[in-house]
Chain A
Amino acid sequence: AQSVTQLDSHVSVSEGTPVLLRCNYSSSYSPSLFWYVQHPNKGLQLLLKYTSAATLVKGINGFEAEFKKSETSFHLTKPSAHMSDAAEYFCVVRGQAGTALIFGKGTTLSVSS
């Protein structure tokens, strides 16, 4: 069965410093992986997706993630945090049947000035 584990429940950074949100996955086949962001009182928004075309995936707002099969990881990074990046981030894998998305428990990103 497919699953994802987000290794940090809360990450705090200063504005202008790098962001690293860690995610490990488990899948019996080549997975489709996603990162979603959830701002308070707003809907979930897709940041980026990996579907085997390229291991380094670039998303919106300067975020990117690297798929590492040997480490079963799909960590999300951003070179320089902005105050507006403060939100809840979810690592997601597509379920085996192909329709359901399986979410991790989320990482809360706090950005201080």
Chain B
Amino acid sequence: DAGVTQSPTHLIKTRGQQVTLRCSPKSGHDTVSWYQQALGQGPQFIFQYYEEEERQRGNFPDRFSGHQFPNYSSELNVNALLLGDSALYLCASSHPESSTNEKLFFGSGTQLSVL
């Protein structure tokens, strides 16, 4: 059983560009959350998707947007990239019975570098 898979694993972009990161949740999971982990810091919550709707959002600007597809996979889009967007982006999924995120499963992340 595959866990949470993210693609690509690494990405290099330049300032002002746009990027799309992808996440496939663990089988049977319907909720996807995205986190940003800057170097030397703990992950920060970006937003969560459930039933193709954004359920909760952290303190991130509108340049960060997302989408969830009917098969529960998700995309994170970042527009007008800034140098400060360089980070590891983590996707996490959870089971329908774990709406309080007590059993989050994380992917290995996408390392985004903005030059």
CB–CB A99/B41 < 8 A = no
Query: Using a Cβ–Cβ cut-off of 8 Å, how many residues does chain A contribute to the interface with B?
Result: 24
Q: Which residues of A contact B100 (CB under 8 A)?
A: 32, 94, 98-99
Nearest CB of A to B88, in Å: 10
Q: Which residues of A contact B103 (CB under 8 A)?
A: 46
Stretch with Cβ within 8 A of B (4 or more), from A55-63, A73-81, A103-111: A103-111
Candidate in B55, B56, B101 with the most chain A CB atoms within 10 angstroms: B101
Q: Which residues of B contact A43 (CB under 8 A)?
A: 3-4, 90, 105-109
Query: Using a Cβ–Cβ cut-off of 8 Å, how many residues does chain B contribute to the interface with A?
Result: 27
Q: How far is the CA of A106 from the CA of B101 in the complex (A)?
A: 20
Nearest CB of A to B93, in Å: 11
Which A residues between 19 and 35 are near B, CB-CB below 8 angstroms? 32, 34
Q: Which residues of B contact A104 (CB under 8 A)?
A: 42
Q: B48 contacts the other chain (Cβ, under 8 Å)?
A: yes
CB–CB A103/B40 < 8 A = no
Q: B19 contacts the other chain (Cβ, under 8 Å)?
A: no
CB–CB B102/A49 < 8 A = yes
Q: C-beta contact mask, B82-115 vs A, less than 8 Å → 1, else 0?
A: 0000000010100000011111111111000000
CB–CB B48/A90 < 8 A = no
Task: Please list the residues of chain A having a beta carbon within 8 angstroms of any beta carbon in chain B.
Answer: 32, 34, 41-46, 49, 51, 90, 92, 94-95, 97-106
Q: List 11 A-B contacts (CB under 8 A).
A: A41-B108, A44-B90, A44-B92, A94-B101, A98-B99, A99-B99, A100-B56, A100-B101, A101-B101, A103-B43, A106-B40
